[in-house]
Amino acid sequence: MEFSVTEKNADFIFPGMEITFQQDGDLSVYKATVYAIESRVEPTLLTLKVRALYPNPNGHMRPGRSANVVIHAKSIQNAITAPNESIVKEMGRNVVYVYSNGRAKQTFLDLGMRTESDTQVLSGLNAGDTLIVSGIMQLRDGLPVVIDNFK
C-alpha cells in the first residue's frame, strides 16, 4: 500500500515498523509493515510517500481503494499528559489551571508530542496535580474554585 505522511510526522515512521489500517466500509483492522519512505518531500503538500506491505492472503484488498492509516508512534512510559481542551494559548505560552487549596493556580507548560485528545507535558505539571478542564476561559490565577465533578 502507498500513503503519505506530513513532513512533521516523518520522524515517527521508519522501515520495519508496523502500521494498522482500515478500509472504508470495513470494520476490520489490518496490519502492514513499512518497507520504504520517499526521501524527497512533495513540494506543494509537504508530504512524504510511504510504502507498506500487507500480504493480502485472501485477496480481500483491492488496488486503488482508500484506507485510514494509523501510525503507532513511540510509546513513552510514565508520561504526564493533559487533555487538549484544558490547554490555553496565552501570549505564546501554554497555560493550564491547577486546583490548589480551593483556588485556580495558573501554570505554564512545556509540551511534547500530541495526539487527538491529549498532549505530553514535559514540564509544568506533576503526577497527582488536579487539572481544571471546564470553564477555563473564565479562570484567572487565584480565583476561588469549587470542584463538583472529578474524572
pLDDT in tens, the chain (151 residues): 999 998 877 878 899 999 999 988 888 899 999 999 998 888 888 899 999 999 988 888 888 888 899 887 767 788 899 999 999 998 889 999 999 999 999 999 999 888 888 999 999 999 999 999 988 888 999 999 988 877 6
pLDDT given at position 77: 80
Instruction: Let me know if the fold of 2-71 is the same as that of 80-138.
Output: no
pLDDT at 26: 83
The grid cell for 33 is 509493515
DSSP 3-state of 21? strand
Q: For the chain, which residues make up each domain, given as ranges?
A: 2-71, 80-138
Strands 93-100, 130-132: pairing is antiparallel
d(CA 108, CA 89): 10
Q: Which CATH fold topology does 80-138 show?
A: 2.40.420
pTM exceeds 0.75, yes or no: no
In the prediction, which pLDDT does 112 show? 86
Q: Please, which residues bridge with residue 31 across strands?
A: 20
Q: What is the pLDDT of residue 80?
A: 93
Report the helix count and the strand count for the chain, using DSSP H and E: 0, 11
β partners of residue 132:
97
In sequence order, what are the beta bridge partners of 6?
Answer: 47
CATH class of 2-71: mainly beta
Cβ atoms 87, 37 nearer than 8 A: no
Residue-level pLDDT at 132 = 93
